[in-house]
Amino acid sequence: MAVKLAVIWIHGLGDRGSSWRGLEDDAELPGVKAKWMFPDAPTVPVTCNGGARSTSWFDIEDIPVTQDAKDYPKDIEKSVTRIHAMVGDLEKEGYASNEIVIGGFSQGGAMALQAVLRYPKPLAGVCCCSGWLMMRDSVGTWANGANKDTPIFWGHGRSDNVVVFALQQIGVAALSEANFTKVTAKDYATMHSTTDQEHRDIGAFLAGTCKA
């Protein structure tokens, strides 16, 4: 019987889920029956776009995103609720919580961290690509201990000019302080994008989360 895995992939600001469908092929998972989901964010006014409407999981005040970025807790909670509902639907389909990974790029990577760390049952893993840890100063209070041992993959471009590279190190340190220590952090010679190597690394990470 094939090992099964469900992956919910969260896109970035102004994007659509469909633009990430190529990752399904790039992240080769031989012997794994994988179900991929690529949801779209709602279209809302975004501050960094001068109030213009765009697909967005939460508001962003400024680009580039730096360590001083403003957080929008109500927006975050609303999107977390939506993503958790997707996880709940997968569980109703027969997936155990530890057969479900949430990942994403940029704003989506930041959202994936929030969704996994707040889930009340252990999930299989989280992929944060070029994202950041929001509300990091209080992570110990809002994160759920159920995912303390959940593996985290965090990839980031060293020349990122949209979400600054330093946010990877800062985020990993904040997670460690809150005892979320199963983090694999990798950096790549790119700007605000993913690379073929990162896609292969994501595939290897996903394969490693599968339960035989």
Q: Are strands 152-157 and 125-129 parallel, antiparallel or unpaired?
A: parallel
Instruction: Find the catalytic residue in 15, 59, 71, 160.
Output: 160
Residues 174 and 133: beta-carbon distance below 8 Å: yes
Residue 56 a catalytic site member: no
What lies within 8 Å, CB to CB, of 169 at 6+ separation is 185
**Long-range contacts formed by 13-20: CB under 8 A, 24+ apart:** 13/46, 13/54, 13/55, 13/56, 13/57, 13/60, 13/106, 13/107, 14/49, 14/54, 14/55, 14/56, 15/55, 15/105, 15/108, 16/40, 16/55, 20/105
- Host H or E run for residue 87: helix 73-93
3-state secondary structure of 32: strand
Residue 75 a catalytic site member: no
Residue 156 a catalytic site member: no
* SS3 labels along 99-156: HEEEEEECHHHHHHHHHHHCCCCCCCEEEEECCCCCCHHHHHHHCCHHHCCCCEEEEE
Instruction: Find the catalytic residue in 11, 156, 192, 199.
Output: 192
Instruction: Find the catalytic residue in 79, 97, 106, 130.
Output: 106
Q: Which residues have a catalytic role annotated?
A: 106, 160, 192
